[in-house]
Amino acid sequence: MRALTVTKRLEEQSAFIGLLTQPLVTPTNDAKLHRLALRHQRQLTEWFRRLGYRLVVAGQVVRLHRTPHAGIVTTPYISRPPKGRELVLTLVAAAACEESDSTTTLQAISDHVRMITGVETSPVTAYDPEYGPERSILLLAVRRLEAHGVLVRRTRDEEMLKAWEANRTGIGAGYDIDRAALLQLLDPHTAALAAPPTGSDETQLLAATRWTRMLRILIETPALMYADLSEDDATYARAVAGRLAEAARTMTGGTVEVRAEGLVLILPPDHPWAGDATLDWPKTAAPAWIALMLCDAAGATGERTDTGAVLLLSHQVDALAATLHTQHYTELTDTFRQRPEQIRPTAEATLRDAGLLEIDSSGNWTLKPAAARYRDPAPSSCWYTHTLASEASE
């Protein structure tokens, strides 16, 4: 009996993590996660309610709606988010699918998108299928709908897609339309909450949602750092740190480090979707090593605050990057030997993705307290060869 209970809890936790990484699930886009979500729907609904989220099961579609609080959705920093045009065309393509039968093609979607955006009252810039980059963006939008299970591809010949993208020849690909998934793709109620009404009492709303907001930060981002919070939120988070840690452990099966500067959730590596929810860093590659070296040097030379953060002015960062290039020239790959100006932006992008760095408008650095976890980086025996191979393939 105990073995069954343990297995059930592991499945619930795996499905919880999985739905955070894949919020719209159908039998076609992730059959395993779909089965687990339906099997443990009651427990998952309760757990997501603790986060202030809504889990909707409509027929064969499972949809997690991340309800905004005060117009805010908790997400980690992304250095290369989808471009606005891609997201807009994704929504227009979804609207085009609503006007189609149960099946469609890439060319038919393209024709509908051109028609929808071509009317005078359209708030969207007209889509031009004769322009190659526009077709490429629409293909990205259609692939996004396919990943969400809204479109199910019937033809698997990638050459047909390439021919359509390059020369606008053929149908591109054929798709079945999952109308239940299409209906759940965008929820008007959730979208409305992303823009709270003018004049609403934001202070009162933030106070009323303090628990869920703190829990969201702990589960959805690399770490909950008190220094990143308002004074009221930080005081509250410190007072309920134990409860936050226990809630996160229960729902994810991970471990929570309770530190003076905040809380860090570490997901269990054996859960099927934990890898998708965890930043794969540092890698055995030059950009990661450069970021770690610059982070280590910044931590040693910057001004440390009472919260554990480290501050550096922009010119100090430039000096550290120049020193890294000089002192470690023989250990760098050709890319960074020949283009030392790429060291700083590469390190910044990597550290920001990892949730370890903030940069202000003047280029000044604020290293998060969690950066202290990474000290004395040294290249492994295989990192140089691995990086050269990666660069050669790009």
Q: Dump pLDDT digits (tens) for 123-138.
A: 999 999 999 999 999 9
User: What is the distance of C-alpha 394 from the center of its chain?
Assistant: 23
Distance CA 17, CA 25 (A): 13
Distance CA 202, CA 69 (A): 9
Buried b vs exposed e over 227-248: b needs ≥16 C-beta within 10 Å? Answer: ebbeeebbebbeeebeebbebb
Q: What is the mean pLDDT of residues 372-390?
A: 54
Q: Which of 202-211, 241-250, 341-350 has the lowest mean pLDDT?
A: 202-211
Question: Helices 132-147 and 106-118, interaxial angle, to 10°?
Answer: 110
Buried b vs exposed e over 80-112: b needs ≥16 C-beta within 10 Å? Answer: eeeeebbebbbebbbebbeeeeeebbbbbbbeb
Residues 6+ apart with CB under 8 A from 324: 290, 293, 294, 297, 343
Q: CA-CA distances (angstroms) from residue 223 to 83, 256, 267?
A: 26, 10, 12
382 pLDDT higher than 60: no
pLDDT in tens, 299-313: 888 998 888 889 999
Pairing of strands 303-304, 310-312: antiparallel
Cβ neighbours around 12 below 10 Å, total: 22
Residues 6+ apart with CB under 8 A from 71: 193, 194, 195, 196
Report the percent of the chain where pLDDT is more than 90. 65
Q: Hey, CA dihedral for 63, 271, 153, 93, is it positive or negative?
A: positive
**Which position has the higher pLDDT, 93 or 75?**
93
Per the CB < 8 A criterion, the answer to whether 175 and 110 are in contact is no
The pTM score is 0.84
Per the CB < 8 A criterion, the answer to whether 250 and 257 are in contact is no
The string of DSSP letters for 334-380 reads HHHHH-GGGHHHHHHHHHHHTT-EEE-TT--EEE-GGGGG--S----
Pairing of strands 103-105, 310-312: unpaired
In residues, how long is the chain?
A: 394
3-state helix, strand, coil in the chain (%, to 5): 55, 10, 35
The tokens describing 261, both together, are 């500067």
Q: What is the mean pLDDT of residues 376-387?
A: 50
Q: What is the mean pLDDT of residues 311-316?
A: 95
Neighbouring-strand partners of residue 153: 175
| Side-chain half-sphere exposure of 28, counting CA atoms within 13 A | 16
E strand spans, the chain: 24-25, 54-58, 61-65, 103-105, 151-153, 174-177, 224-225, 255-259, 262-266, 303-304, 310-312, 357-359, 365-367
Sheet with 224-225: list strands edge to edge.
Answer: 224-225, 262-266, 255-259
Q: CA-CA distances (angstroms) from residue 147 to 141, 151, 253?
A: 10, 8, 27
Distance CA 106, CA 34 (A): 26
221 pLDDT higher than 80: yes
Q: 3 pLDDT band (50/70/90 cuts)?
A: low
- The backbone torsions φ and ψ at residue 225, rounded to the nearest 5 degrees and listed phi first, read -110, 125
- For residue 5, what pLDDT is reported? 84
Q: What is the mean pLDDT of residues 215-241?
A: 93
Q: CA-CA distances (angstroms) from residue 177 to 99, 103, 110, 171, 172?
A: 11, 6, 15, 16, 16
**Which position has the higher pLDDT, 259 or 315?**
315
The torsion of the CA quartet 132, 150, 196, 75, rounded to 10 degrees, works out to -80
Q: What is the mean pLDDT of residues 265-277?
A: 89
Q: CA-CA distances (angstroms) from residue 283 to 123, 139, 354?
A: 43, 30, 12
